[in-house]
Amino acid sequence: MAKLYFKYGAMGSSKTANALITKFNYEERGMKVWLIKPSIDVRDGADVVRSRIGLSAHADIMTPDKNLFDEYQNHPDCDVVIADECQFFTSKQIDQLRRIVDKLDIPVLCYGLRTDFLTHLFEGSRRLFEVADSITEIKTICTCGKKAIVNARIDGEGKVVTEGGQILIGGNDSYVAMCHSCWQNAIEQQLK
């Protein structure tokens, strides 16, 4: 019986690498994978999923208006759906992925962030916490050695940003994974 999986972690926890390794494992066994990502993520090219360690693959781009259940109908021979950066999908699109699992008995594996730079849930992540069958944290560490849970947004001067829009697409130059304590300490030090 198929399941909806949510595998989340802070920036730098190798979520995309895990997604691409999982894709490889399915394909190595002769299965077909439908790899998708939201259209907002254009860091590595509009139709590319790329990990920091150099793995990459072509992905289908999903704009917020696309119905993912209907789009899957164009890939009926796929054995699994793998979604990268799923935090950027709408709640409705997460429900459409849930429908693929329930109606078509196709497993869907979603990889993404839990929270933004202010520790608020993303829309897609919130819905996955509500409807996923399996929720797994992919852990990473802060520079202090504790588990990192905050995606701290960093400005050009290396300071922690505490204002702004929820979405700013960026990588290691814009975000640092931190434990909550180090994040709070950095903010407090900036206020002095």
Annotated catalytic residues are 85
For the stretch 41-48, contacts whose Cβ atoms lie closer than 8 Å and that sit 24 or more positions apart, written own/partner, are: 41/84, 41/85, 41/88, 41/169, 42/169, 43/169, 43/170, 43/171
Residue with tokens 């202010």, as numbered in its chain: 118
Report which of 101, 94, 110, 81 is spatially closest to residue 18, judged by C-alpha positions.
Answer: 110
Residue 10, classed as helix, strand or coil, is coil
12 burial level (CB within 10 Å; 0-12, 13-18, 19+): middle
In sequence order, the 6+-apart residues with CB closer than 8 A to the CB of 113 are 8, 9, 10, 11, 15, 85, 87, 122, 125, 151
Asked whether the beta carbons of 72 and 100 are under 8 A apart, the reply is yes
Q: Which residues of 160-171 are buried (b: 16+ CB within 10 A; e: fewer)?
A: bbeeeeeeeeee
